[in-house]
Amino acid sequence: MNHSTETPSSTLHADRVHEDVERVVVPSAAIAARVRALAQSIGEDYAHADGRLTVVPVMTGSFLFAADLVRALPQRRMRIQLATVASYGGTATATQGSSIVGTLPKHLEDHHVLIIDDILDSGGTLRLLRAEFESRGARSVKACVLLRKRIPSALSTPVEYVGFDIDDEFVVGYGLDYDDLYRNLPYVGALRREAR
């Protein structure tokens, strides 16, 4: 099931734009509202999974989104275990292919797994993690992404919860980076070409 997505509106924000950002794509107020809505949907879907839900944020890009999302979920028992998947390196602005870095959560038998990621473009990260968690005996595996690009590879990748659909452009902020910069911006913005 694919919960409805929202298109951000520039009228919803009063964000001060960093000098390297061309424009705000998703303002902070829209992010906050959408996180609350996603948490409500996820909480309803996992109402039966008290103590059997494992939330897996994909590092490092999803750390702000995941922190806000799990705090907005109903206060039930859940495990939070991190996964690190490399797909962009340093100053790359296109995916270089997905590979697991380090270890993944273990002992997933009879657990529902919710992957939280920042952006869906090639779909490689979600496909890789779904296959890994399913092979480890997870009862179910679902995914939640903050952003999904309007490109065929992203739109054809199964994902149960989507924050915003955006155009195919390079964005930073709210956890997303360029060369480990700009993660701290409170909004998602399009990075100026001159800043890359």
For the annotated catalytic residues, the residue numbers are 121
Q: Are strands 99-101 and 112-120 parallel, antiparallel or unpaired?
A: unpaired
Rg (CA), the chain: 16
Provide the sign of the torsion angle of the four alpha carbons 46, 154, 171, 168, taken in this order: negative
Burial label, 63 (beta-carbon count in 10 A; 0-12, 13-18, 19+): middle
